[in-house]
Amino acid sequence: MVKGIERDIGEIEGLAIEQRLGRLDGAGLRFGLVVARFNDGLTDELARQAVGALEACGTVLKAVELVRVPGAYEVPVVLEKMAASGQYDGLIALGVVVEGETQHAQMIIDTTGKMLLEISCRHGVPVINEIVGARSWEQAEARCLGGEQSRGWYAGLAAVETAQVLRRVR
């Protein structure tokens, strides 16, 4: 489990009702990552950080499957199949879309985000969407290369916590 987390995440102390909260404990959980190859200098780092966070939470590497696709737009179809399989406690979508001179980037961010949310709700498995949208290369680097502050690290932690929450509410 990640150091420094000694109580349930988000616990409201003094609240006299049962709280169903997640822990950053990935032991016994299985995760799938779908990573876009486009902008691979950044997506590779997002993947490294996400896997590092999963491992820091106690997930064994044999319980993590990583699948590569050409770009962010191809991520949802693969995650749909993975979610439908029932083999995963959590899924992570990783990609980087940098705005250009057209509206193409915004279209990719909007449509993939909508599809990932639908997949998550349809199959009851958390799909953590870290297809990073940025206005510039510098913004993208800041979000992807920040070590434990990166969106990849966040994705790993969010996948574990949300999977644990779902186990408690089922």
**Torsion region of 3: left, alpha or beta (phi above 0 gives left; psi -120 to 50 gives alpha):** beta
Active-site annotation holds for 123: no
Q: Quick one: 156 exposed, middle or buried, by C-beta within 10 A (0-12, 13-18, 19+)?
A: buried
Catalytic residue among 104, 114, 122, 168: 104
Structure tokens at 56: 């820091």
CA-to-CA distance for 156 and 22, rounded, in angstroms?
13
Strand, helix or coil at 129? strand
Backbone conformation region of residue 81, classed left if phi is above 0, alpha if psi is from -120 to 50, else beta: alpha
Can you read off the two tokens belonging to residue 52?
Answer: 């590092």
User: Which are the catalytic amino acids?
Assistant: 104
